[in-house]
Each structure stands twice: as C-alpha cells, then as structure tokens.
Amino acid sequence: MAKVKLSYDQIAEKMVQKYEDVHHGKMMSSPALVHNNKVFAFYYGDSMVFKLGKSYDIRQHGEIKYEALNPFKNKAPMLAWFVIGFDEVNHWDNLAEAAYKIMKERLTADLKV
C-alpha cells in the first residue's frame, strides 16, 4: 500500500508543479488533485480515480482494467469517474493529464456561457 500511495504522491506533486492552477485537496477524505475547486483525480484505496466523463473512451490509452466509482451502497455507480488499480499504474500519469485537461475545458466552456 505504501508503494501505491508513493506513486500517487509523485504524480500529484508533478501535476502541482507543472500547472499553477492545480492544487492538493480532498475527495471523500482522500488526497486529491483540484482545479478551480473541482476535483479531477484522487487516491482511493489501492487505486487512483479520474473524472473523465461518462462518454470518455478509455481505450484510447490501450487495454486498461477499470471500473466505475461506486462508493455508496444504495446509489448507482458514478459513471464519469474511472477507478484504475495499481496494476495499471503505468497509465496513471496520462490519465491524470487527460482528467485535468477535460476539467479545465469544461470549466472554461462554462465561463463562456
């Protein structure tokens, strides 16, 4: 588990250093990456979770095992959020970048309306 958290920490720190509008935050009491007060990725158990959108085609990153985030017993899964386990850690960097860019585009489009 320490290896998993270290991998998240390295990616998170890289994103915060690379983008001045990315900050550390929290999501469900877990460490998260935030843009404009909106979480786009976070650490969850032995996985990293990315908000990519319901219609996102994750296959563009290759064959990746994933599942929809389902933290609540009595609610449907959150289909916009992709849970990617540590066995797919080699994809975490690219998925963090993708989630950031998607979040930034959405927020920029919302400001134009």
Mean of pLDDT values over 13-34: 96
Sign of CA dihedral 18, 54, 70, 68: negative
pLDDT score of 113 more than 60:
no
pLDDT band for 27, please (50, 70, 90 cuts).
Answer: very high
Task: Report domain extents, the chain.
Answer: 2-112
Residue 73 or 101, more confident: 101
pLDDT score of 2 more than 90:
no
Contact 90, 61 (CB under 8 A): no
pLDDT score of 106 more than 90:
no
Residues above pLDDT 70, as percent of the chain: 96
Residue 110 or 99, more confident: 99
Name 81's Cβ contacts closer than 8 Å, sequence gap at least 6. 49, 50, 51, 52, 68, 69
